[in-house]
Structure 1
Amino acid sequence: MDETSQKIIDATMSLVRDKGYVAMTTKDIAKLAGVNECTLFRKFKSKKDIVLNGMEQEKWRGNLTPDVFQNIKWDLAADLEMFMTEYMERMTPDFVRLSIGLRAPQIYEETAPLVMKVPQAFLSSLIEYFEGMEQRGKLPHLDFECLAMTIFSSTFGYTFLSASFEDHLSQISREEYIRQSVQTFINGIPYQE
């Protein structure tokens, strides 16, 4: 990839993150990249083509693969905290905003499979972990996909809301949120009638 093409991709992906796919124009891209529009179209067919090229680069994809969940202790609380922490460390506010910007109907069909690799990695790894816990006699046979979706939804929700509102919505730290969520997941809510 030549330097000019990379500048165009970086400008485009930054604009998708900051403005959304639909709102950005090729004029915006050219200006931010420091090139003229003719150069942009010599390098790429369309703004969609630029985005798809950007999605192929690791720096513009969520850096979450099953291999990040290898620090397993076979202790439910510690391991669930590890899963949530690994996800939250890699899903930065910038990546969350970029993935929101990539949901435009004009590109969704092409970008959704790439964006979905992140939750798929989390879910498949967590399901495999629950199955391993069952094999070790530490969990009964349950609907592990449902359990994984519950943990993922909680993790994604906190990450999304933090990226959207920073600490204006809640003052709960990430570490405290993870700890309390895992404890509630494992022990349930203490309830008295």
Structure 2
Amino acid sequence: MDELSIKIQNATMELIMEKGYAFATTKEIAKLAGVNECTIFRKFGEKKEIVLQAMQQKEWHPDLEPEDFMDCQWDLEKDLHTFSKIYMSKVTSRFVRLSIGLRTPELAEYTAAGIMNIPKTFKEGVKQYFDEMIRKGYMDQEKDTEALAMTFLSMNFGFVFLKASFEDRLSLLTQEEYRRVSIAAFVNGIKK
């Protein structure tokens, strides 16, 4: 990918975070990228194509992978802390604002699967971890691992979403403080 295309993609994604897809015009994109509006159409054809190509770039796509859940100590609190830290390092406030900006009817069919892949990967990784904890005898067998994984995902996403939406106006808790208290409460509720 050439430098000019990257500048256009970055400008587009920044404007989408700030205004949403519909209000990020090609004229504003060109101005922010420092290019002529004709250059945008020559390189990408249309605004949607800029977004789709940008979503493939590491800068605009958290690379949460199933492998992120493989390095376990089989200590519930420590492992959940690690998973949460990985999630919050990759699913940043910036990414949350972008994903909100991308949820528009013009893009939904093209972006929904990519956006959903992140929470799906996290939920599945945590669920598999809980399943293995049960298999190893570290958790009760009657635990609903799907519900527990969704709860843990919701805890992490909720914190990141609220920080993305309100920054420190809602709470001054840091990620570390939030993880320490919320994970301890979560683990206490599901301990064997």
Whether the TM-score (by the shorter chain) exceeds 0.5 is yes
What residue ranges of structure 2 are gaps of 5+ in the alignment? none
CA RMSD in angstroms, aligned pairs only: 1.5
Aligned length: 189
Partner in structure 1 of residue 134 of structure 2? 134
Q: Aligned partners of 2:56, 2:112: CA distance in 1, in Å? A: 13
1:76 aligned to 2:76?
Answer: yes
Is the 8 Å Cα contact of residues 69 and 86 (structure 1) preserved in structure 2? no
Partner in structure 1 of residue 47 of structure 2? 47
Cα deviation, 1:141-184, whole Å, max 9, x if unaligned, reads: 22111100000001000011111111110122221211211122
What is the deviation of 1:78? 0.9
Is the 8 Å Cα contact of residues 66 and 125 (structure 2) preserved in structure 1? yes
Is the 8 Å Cα contact of residues 91 and 159 (structure 1) preserved in structure 2? yes
Q: Percent identity?
A: 52
Partner of 1:64, secondary structure, is coil
Is the 8 Å Cα contact of residues 9 and 50 (structure 1) preserved in structure 2? yes
Partner in structure 2 of residue 19 of structure 1? 19
Partner in structure 1 of residue 8 of structure 2? 8
Partner in structure 1 of residue 32 of structure 2? 32
Is the 8 Å Cα contact of residues 11 and 32 (structure 1) preserved in structure 2? yes
Displacement over 3 Å in runs of 4+: none
Partner in structure 2 of residue 143 of structure 1? 144
Partner of 1:116, secondary structure, is helix
Q: Aligned partners of 1:100, 1:153: CA distance in 2, in Å? A: 16
What residue ranges of structure 1 are gaps of 5+ in the alignment? 189-193
Is the 8 Å Cα contact of residues 73 and 79 (structure 2) preserved in structure 1? yes
What is the deviation of 1:117? 1.4
Kindly provide the amino acid, as one letter, of the partner of residue 163 in structure 2. S
1:100 aligned to 2:103?
Answer: no
